[in-house]
Amino acid sequence: MKRRYVTADVFTDRMFGGNPVAVVLDAAGLSADQMQAVAVEFGYSETTFVLPPRDPSHTAWVRIFTPSREVPFAGHPNVGTAFVLTQEMAARGEAVPDRLVFEEAAGLVPVDLLREGGAVVGAELTAPEPLSRRAEVMPERAGACLSLAAGEVRTDAHPPQVVSVGLPFLVVELVSRDALRRARSDRTAYESVFPLDGAIAVYAYTRDVGTAAPEAGTDLQARMFTPRMTEDPATGSATAAAAALLAEVRGGADLRLRVGQGVDMGRPSLLLARAGRQGGVMIAYVGGRCVRAMEGSFRLAGP
């Protein structure tokens, strides 16, 4: 069976920036093993597979795979998938709604579209879970995961801690932009810390941002290191979790953040995050612009 795919660069306004995602549009009938093999073939941080929704009132059932596993939720794949699907709707002459709802392992993920001049230019998702704060890690162990000293880990706002709004990460604040720039994942330290309360990756950020492009105008600069000892250019799920954590430690008031990521790896990204308390729990959102990059097809029958 011929299956179409489209790739998009997410959290950027230009091709070859941001974080690429491959969206397989015709995924019905593929097994989990086949989806995993396709994700390995693309080699992106994540590949999404679009299937008919189990509830017809929803837009689609979306499964998300990294090159090593299926994940219950992720940020940039949802934003990119929503962007691609609305482009496909428009190309078919269909009315494009203001909100899409994806069925995922973590729950329902509403995604609101961002428009300029009537055209969809990106999207913002609502995280499927409220903030949960989990295990804390000593600064020296968190720093070691990033090849940094304990003194380069900042703890006045919060300790290094596993947090989640759908996918857990160890969130670590660093004292300076220089420390963030020098951060490198250390396999031995990773293996001594992870897995931990569902987390297998480190999201490091700093409030010490630069004044020159592309960092000017951001509130945080961040990097995310995976258990494969690779770096992710833009991590929506971790950014949303970090925004929720910071909103909570600042007293629960609504918080908006412009977060830069990917600068040190040559794929500058801008993530727009917000968080606030609703019904007694902390809810997070993250969004940004997208650019359509490539498209094609492959033949793969179901099992």
Cα distances (Å, whole numbers) of residue 51 to 16, 22, 25, 208: 27, 14, 8, 42
Q: Is 146 exposed, middle or buried (0-12, 13-18, 19+ CB in 10 A)?
A: buried
Q: Is residue 97 reached through a cis peptide bond, with omega within 30 degrees of 0 on the bond before it? A: no
- pLDDT at position 38, please? 98
Per-residue pLDDT tens listing for the chain (303 residues):
899 999 999 999 999 999 999 999 999 999 999 999 999 999 999 999 999 999 999 999 999 999 999 999 999 999 999 999 999 999 999 999 999 999 999 999 999 999 999 899 999 999 999 999 999 999 999 999 999 999 999 999 999 999 999 999 999 999 999 999 999 999 999 999 999 999 999 999 999 998 888 888 999 999 999 988 899 999 999 999 999 999 999 998 899 999 999 999 999 999 999 999 999 999 999 999 999 999 999 999 877
Superfamily of domain 2-126+289-299: Diaminopimelate Epimerase; Chain A, domain 1 (3.10.310.10)
- pLDDT at position 118, please? 87
CB 234, CB 266: distance < 8 Å: no
- pLDDT at position 228, please? 87
Q: Where in the chain is the domain with CATH 3.10.310.10?
A: 2-126+289-299, 132-283
Q: Is 153 exposed, middle or buried (0-12, 13-18, 19+ CB in 10 A)?
A: buried
Active site residue: 46, 103, 129, 231, which one?
Answer: 46
- Cα–Cα distance between 241 and 285 in angstroms, integer? 9
Q: Under CATH, which number does the domain 132-283 receive?
A: 3.10.310.10
Cα distances (Å, whole numbers) of residue 39 to 15, 19, 32, 53: 21, 15, 10, 21
- pLDDT at position 211, please? 81
Q: Known catalytic residue: 46?
A: yes
- pLDDT at position 214, please? 85
